Amino acid sequence: MPQLNVADTCVGTRALGPGWRSVVWVQGCPLDCAGCVAPDWIPDRPNRLVSPAALVDELLADPAVTGLTLSGGEPMAQAAGLAELVGLARARRELDVVCFTGFTAEVLRDRPPGPGVADLLAQVDVLVDGPYVARRDDGRGLRGSDNQRVRHLTDRLRGSGYDFAGRPRSVEVRVRDRGALLVGVPTAGVLRRFDEAIDRCAEHLGQGGPR
């Protein structure tokens, strides 16, 4: 069973798809889009290596979770492991799956960037595809820029009433022991304020403030 190189996870959120969901962000992206919201997760370096089975235990620890969101980094760079993850998760409960990718669906179909891409796509209900283009970030929808397309690969979420492309964006901040995680697709202003707040906290801690 392949191991996944994970950047971070979030168990239970409403900021990255319909309903109450868990999110996994993988480490590493070959596309390196300018202005990426998560530059620390672009380098292809070991972060947290975990088996799909162990990660399923974590993501489904909350019995109220009804969906999974796959992001990164670039999920298609670890498609085989994520396909295994989704299969194991769905063996336990009914779930919908939303996946973000910087590749277009056409590239994934005709020139897949690695093994397991077709297997993962067969498990995904909604694919948000295409590279992030900063000048086309209109601040709306569950995608970073308006060139990215929302593709319903199944009918599971087609009639859900969730407006993937046009809804107002929302984010959640999860405070951890020594940091914070921004969950969602932020507007440029929100991201800037979040980064400034993190920098101020880091400066404060460096000056001997409370930890």
Q: Which residues, in sequence order, are CB contacts of 13 under 8 Å at separation 6+?
A: 20, 21, 22, 23, 172, 183, 184
Torsion of CA 158, 149, 194, 23, to 10 degrees: 50
Give the contacts of 41 (CB within 8 A, at least 6 positions apart).
7, 8, 25, 26, 27, 28, 29, 72, 73
pLDDT tens digits along 135-163: 999 999 999 999 999 999 999 999 999 99
Q: Is the pLDDT of residue 210 over 50?
A: no
Q: Which spans in the chain are helix H?
A: 52-59, 79-90, 105-110, 117-121, 188-206
Closest to 94 (Cα-Cα) out of 156, 51, 158, 9: 156
3 or 180, which is more confident: 3
Phi, psi dihedral angles at 96 (to 5 degrees): -100, 155
What is the number of other CB atoms lying within 10 angstroms of the CB of residue 164? 19
From the centroid of its chain, how far is CA 141? 14
Query: Are 101 and 74 contacting, i.e. CB atoms less than 8 angstroms apart?
Result: yes
Q: Give the pLDDT confidence of 57-68 residue by residue, as tens digits.
A: 999 999 999 999
Tell me the C-alpha distance between 74 and 71, whole Å.
Answer: 6
DSSP state of 53: H
Task: Give pLDDT tens digits for 59-92.
Answer: 999 999 999 999 999 999 999 999 999 999 999 9
CA distances from 58 to 14, 23, 24, 32, 76 (A): 17, 10, 10, 28, 21
Domain annotation for the chain: domains and CATH numbers: 4-167 (3.20.20.70)
pLDDT band of residue 190 (cuts 50, 70, 90) is low
Task: Quote the pLDDT of residue 30.
Answer: 96
